[in-house]
A and B are shown apart, each in its own frame.
Chain A
Amino acid sequence: MNISTISFCISEIQSTFKKISGLEKQFLEVPPPCSARIRSEAIFYKEKGGIPDFPVKTKDGRIVSSLVISDTLRNIPVVAVDYVFIKEDLLKTAKEWLNKNWEEIIRPGKEE
């Protein structure tokens, strides 16, 4: 799991929880102070396919892979975003949960 960003933002979103990933599932375990009115939505995005590989014609006429010839391209991070939006009332609880579970959340998962 590649978590690049975890943000808790103030929002008033009328929707039920969406079970999108393990992170969301963990968050559900936080006892909400106002479960009847809880409002949250999570957005998780990880770029598919990574950095594109394309052919490069070198000055001596060879054709090589861009990922072979360019250190920069090999090291461009994959775009990955994880947000959990939570109602303002629940921000304190969410922060407490985040502090408690931080180590677990950022622990790298097995590569798929």
Chain B
Amino acid sequence: MFPFSVLVGKAVRRISRLRGGGSALPGLVVEKIDPGFMGRALTGLPHGVVVISGTNGKTTTTKMVVELLQGQGLTVFTNRTGSNFTRGVAAALLGEVNWRGRLKADIAVLELDEAHAVHFVKLVPPTHCLLLNVLRDQLDRFGEIDQTTRLLEQIAAKTTGTVVLNREDPRVAGIASTVHDAEITYFGLDASLRSTFPNDDELRGDIGVAPPSSLPADVILEHVDGNTAMFLTDGESTSVDLRLRGVYNIFNAAAALAMARTVLGGAINRAALFASLATVEPAFGRGESLVVDGKPLELVLVKNPSGFRLGLKSFDAAGYATMIAINDNYADGRDMSWLWDVDFDSLGLAGVDMVSGVRAYDMALRLKYDDVDVRAVEPDTTAALKAFISATHDQPKRIFCTYTAMLAVRRDLSKITTVEVVS
């Protein structure tokens, strides 16, 4: 035990907070002076360490798993949105450990980006991992999606207890054959919902969808009607009214249920589990609803073709004014090719009121080729948001944006309405 590093880390954390700095610096400091800090703090938790990774839905799924386990009476340590890398976990830990570096929690549930998760599991082998999907996202960073699958395999290989897999994603389901020591559990979809969730090979509109998987699943999403979802567990169907919006968030709920059931096994309280699920609010930018001029304004984060497609599918354009903001900063991915893998036909009837972001003209050009009417283009997000709100003040609004465009839009919105600040 070397409490000195914890004290230093905590001090750096306090100072960087006072200066309004980012959350990563204290994590960096403690990693440098005490590389074993994270492993010591996280090993020996009574219910272990859960790692959640995959391309889409990590944040929402992690939030759900945390709240489901809290609903079962567990004290849960988690990393906050936007810090899904190892250093972010170390920084978050510094805020929670006592001066001896001990964490007072029953379990840690951590969202980790694929590449950072591989680094993390080498330091701290997880007891459980939940692997959601492998989709085209930031190929300029990871190269190819087959490469991303290799990263997830490494996470599964280090897992000591149970690996929870999406049986509907052939790349993720295939990871099972590479796992030797851990148990495997699946979550999945009823055959009737299969076509709603195209995997990466099925992004092209005209191509058919593969037959449903026949692997046994612990939790199956059976039916979705608006915000009401039906889950099949232990041969029993349960209907839940959710606050989460968007059909892809609801599939993530099946993933979260499977993870919670895996962690607690027979000790789980079924009624409490579904009651907790019903109260989960959407995470940052995953269909959050704000109020502007007395009308709802929804923010939908889009960062890859499948996410954008599902976003368009989940949120009906009818009656809404629409803005789209596309940036190509490092965190968004610089390659614009992905916009051409999304069909925008669903926006054709109502058109798009404003297109913004660094790559506003790439987006406007994309919409032109789908015959979608664009009423205004303004690359500057501040000017665009202002114009969008004043032009559509009497309508409900929806803004689809990439990650850094979302941060910019939220910053501007926080000046006129209540927005949860995420640092």
Our verdict on whether A and B bind, yes or no, reads no
Report which B residues bind A (CB closer than 8 A).
none
